A and B are shown apart, each in its own frame.
Chain A
Amino acid sequence: MYKYDSIDQQIVDERVAQFRGQTERFISGELGEDEFRPLRLQNGLYIQKHAPMLRVAIPYGQLSSTQVRMLAHIARKYDRGYGHFTTRQNIQFNWPKLKRVPDILADLATVEMHAIQTSGNCIRNTTSDQFAGVAHDELIDPRPYAELIRQWSTFHPEFAYLPRKFKIAVNGAIEDRAGTLFHDIGIHTVNDVAGNVAFRILVGGGLGRTPILGHVVREALPKQHLFTYLDAILRVYNRFGRRDNMYKARIKILVKELGLEKFRAEVDAEWAHLKDGPATLTQAEIDRVAAYFVDPDYAVLPTIDAGFERHLVDHKAFARWVERNVFGHKKSGYAAVTLSLKKTGVAPGDATDAQLDAVADLADEFSYGEIRVSHEQNLILADVKKRDLFAVWQRAKTIGFATPNIGLLTDIIACPGGDFCSLANAKSIPVAEAIQRRFDDLDYLFDIGDIAINISGCMNACGHHHVGHIGILGVDKHGAEFYQVTIGGSQGLQAALGKVIGPAFAQDEMADVVEKLIKTYVALRHEDEHFLDTAKRVGMEPFKASVYDKKAGRREAEVAHV
């Protein structure tokens, strides 16, 4: 993975000093709350319900074991012994003290980490495929380009006060595991007709209040133009994006209002001035950064490992875990392992200091000392030998990270919601837990198959509810917490937005609702038919009928009282 040189380190160290000064000036009253807010946000610091919340950047989801141990240390020393991995491959600490935040940032800087631009109306932390560099279906490793974008976006002086936040995701595989269609800018690393690396640039995707899929604004941008083209897009957005209404301020609204053609013309006009200028990428720089992402020293191994095959036969539980949590590797004899942070009873994405330390040990022993974070809020060991899988499984079990549920119904994606977030309409975590508890039969879960349930506590959609096969959104009804349900959403290249099935439900109804939707699916599916395909084939009605039938009368009676 990328290693800082003395300049990268100096920039991050200077940031810590700068924020220490800003925090001191805020505490002394020299800086007002309004003046401090954008500064702290650009250092990942929110003021939440109970305490400040610090969001630490994990650039494109890559961590070393040293960094993971530092996260454990921070959880222990400054927080309540745990952290929360987010849907944007970051980690959040929910209980730091404001005055200690500069110390936390200083500790992070010692392991080449920071909280730069993890919040605020600026270019946010760049995200990517959690299997980048190892995926069996990868075309071009996106990580060097994600790192280049990290550097380009870090303290970009022109784009620190954009109309709204700005998120970039890069994907280099056939399957889109980075949600590029739902980012302000989505980038696909592709080969152009001559076989050179190029970028397909999508713009204007996003979830939130107005969910829209991104549009291709440029089909095959030659790689040397990456920064000048991004500069052109951002400049058009910075100048013309709406600033009068924060709900209309994302770039997707600008693209929609101008129309894609007009938007593209604006970008091209701007780009004409920047193209081939000094910001044009050099091959030397691409090579310098790419050199950090070369393959580790893989052993030459047979595709089939006899010991592994035997364990599969002998241990049903292991076989199940392999079926769900092990992902195909480009290198024969290797596999990528997903450690599930979705154990029933634990908030999705939460990890304790002890678990983090244990994962770091596992990575050191079995996966070249590296760990990835997925936007599904799980952790990944990307380079495990097949013959070590059984040992890794056993160790993961002792950590509590071996739930065999990746991609299954209980692998729920949920934002922190009303338990922590001050913007929430409703809680997310208890709903996730109630659903996980309802579906406690592993055979049934495996029979149901791939189901993505996504829960957001409000319209900001941090839980990506629009793209859940079943999406759950917290809404406020006369001061009470209710949940609106969508079905049919999906991520990836076939991305689609879910459709609302009808009036919202109370919190204690949610497990029933999900159970009925699933029963409907199981009853109606053809053999091996995926939930989404069944939903598409039979339409909304049977699902609606299953959840609204008997209660329609009751609901009307309720409404009559309001």
Chain B
Amino acid sequence: MSDTKIIRDGVIVADDWVLLPTGYDAAFPSGKLIVPLNIFVSRQAELTARTECTGVWMEGHDDLTPISNLIEGLPLIAIHFPKFTDGRGYSTAVLLRTRYSFKGELRATGEVLRDQLFYLRRVGFNAFAVRADKDIVDALKALTDFSESYQASTDQPAPLFRRRATHAPGSAA
């Protein structure tokens, strides 16, 4: 287990996964692994033979179809944000959660900063590998920036207008 801390389900925890870099071509180490998408596909047989958990990481613009029938059973998917202003990962997250019924850990990696966490959580991320130079305790605060939202999204499938009549301000998750 590494000393790296992540936010998972609103709590700061030690990261018990190892993320393999792109182009990784050595034998797989033991432990829980997050494998780049293309390696996950090309060395699928090797990975299935492992007894430990394997997750996959991808870019926000990667095509999900090569792994579409595996997604539902995965324990972890990480989406890498090369820049925090690249919003494609938000739509990918929504698709994973709603179209592919992905229930495992959905982790944001790369340029993950405090001021994006609220929206990331809304679209379905539940884990955040906050960029190493940033204060993760500080970042955690962003999850409570807003107590209510208008739209339907992964964290709240009913839009505000379907809840408005019965809603007491401040009572939402």
Whether the pair A279, B151 counts as a contact (CB closer than 8 A) is yes
Whether the pair B160, A7 counts as a contact (CB closer than 8 A) is yes
- Complex Cα spacing A14 to B113, Å: 19
Interface residues of B in 82-131 (CB under 8 A from A): 84-88, 90-92, 94, 98-99, 113, 115-116, 118-120, 122-123
Interface residues of B in 118-173 (CB under 8 A from A): 118-120, 122-123, 145-153, 157-162, 164-165, 167, 169-170
Whether the pair B145, A282 counts as a contact (CB closer than 8 A) is no
Does residue A157 face the partner (Cβ distance < 8 Å to B)? Answer: yes
Cβ-defined partner of A227 (8 Å) among B85, B146, B159, B169: B159
Cβ-defined partner of A11 (8 Å) among B85, B146, B152: B146
Whether the pair B169, A160 counts as a contact (CB closer than 8 A) is no
Q: Which of A148-156, A293-301, A355-363 contacts B (4 or more CB under 8 A)?
A: A148-156
Contacts of B123 in A (CB 8 A): 157-158
- Complex Cα spacing A239 to B92, Å: 8
> Known contacts being A11-B148, A239-B61, is A278 close to B158, with CB within 8 Å?
yes
Cβ-defined partner of B84 (8 Å) among A154, A161, A238: A161
Whether the pair A157, B86 counts as a contact (CB closer than 8 A) is no
**Interface size, B (range):** 35 or more
Whether the pair A285, B161 counts as a contact (CB closer than 8 A) is yes
Whether the pair B161, A157 counts as a contact (CB closer than 8 A) is no
Cβ-defined partner of A158 (8 Å) among B86, B91, B147: B91
- Complex Cα spacing A525 to B90, Å: 56
Does residue A39 face the partner (Cβ distance < 8 Å to B)? Answer: yes
Q: How far is the CB of A53 from chain B (nearest CB, A)?
A: 21
Cβ-defined partner of A239 (8 Å) among B88, B118, B164: B88
Whether the pair A161, B90 counts as a contact (CB closer than 8 A) is yes
Contacts of A163 in B (CB 8 A): 87
Q: Would you give the 0/1 interface string for A134-176, flagging 1 where the beta carbon is closer than 8 Å to chain B?
A: 0000000000000000011011111111110000000000000
Whether the pair A278, B152 counts as a contact (CB closer than 8 A) is yes
Q: How far is the CB of A284 from chain B (nearest CB, A)?
A: 8
Whether the pair B94, A158 counts as a contact (CB closer than 8 A) is yes
- Complex Cα spacing A230 to B84, Å: 24
Whether the pair B85, A161 counts as a contact (CB closer than 8 A) is yes
Contacts of B90 in A (CB 8 A): 157-161, 238
Whether the pair A161, B147 counts as a contact (CB closer than 8 A) is no
Whether the pair B150, A155 counts as a contact (CB closer than 8 A) is yes
- Complex Cα spacing A235 to B148, Å: 22
Whether the pair B115, A160 counts as a contact (CB closer than 8 A) is no
> Known contacts being A6-B169, A11-B146, A157-B122, is A39 close to B115, with CB within 8 Å?
yes
Does residue A550 face the partner (Cβ distance < 8 Å to B)? Answer: no
Whether the pair A14, B147 counts as a contact (CB closer than 8 A) is yes
Q: How far is the CB of B140 from chain A (nearest CB, A)?
A: 13
Whether the pair B159, A238 counts as a contact (CB closer than 8 A) is no
Whether the pair B115, A238 counts as a contact (CB closer than 8 A) is no
Q: Would you give the 0/1 interface string for A244-288, flagging 1 where the beta carbon is closer than 8 Å to chain B?
A: 000000000000000000000000000001000111011011001
Q: Which residue of B lies closest to A160 (CB)?
A: B119
Does residue A49 face the partner (Cβ distance < 8 Å to B)? Answer: no
- Complex Cα spacing A388 to B152, Å: 47
Cβ-defined partner of A162 (8 Å) among B87, B119, B147, B157: B87
- Complex Cα spacing A549 to B88, Å: 53
Contacts of A22 in B (CB 8 A): 115
Q: Would you give the 0/1 interface string for A1-34, flagging 1 where the beta carbon is closer than 8 Å to chain B?
A: 0000111001100110010001000000001000
- Complex Cα spacing A281 to B162, Å: 9
- Complex Cα spacing A162 to B151, Å: 17
Whether the pair B167, A7 counts as a contact (CB closer than 8 A) is yes
- Complex Cα spacing A163 to B88, Å: 9
Contacts of A11 in B (CB 8 A): 146, 148-150
Does residue A81 face the partner (Cβ distance < 8 Å to B)? Answer: no
> Known contacts being A7-B160, A238-B91, A282-B161, is A157 close to B149, with CB within 8 Å?
yes
A-B contact pairs, 5 of them (CB 8 A): A14-B147, A35-B115, A162-B87, A227-B159, A273-B98
> What 5 pairs between A and B have smallest CB-CB spacing?
A161-B87, A157-B122, A157-B119, A285-B161, A279-B152
Given A7-B169, A163-B87, A277-B152, 15 extra CB contacts under 8 A? A10-B148, A14-B145, A155-B150, A155-B151, A157-B90, A160-B90, A160-B119, A161-B87, A235-B91, A238-B90, A238-B91, A239-B61, A243-B88, A285-B164, A288-B161
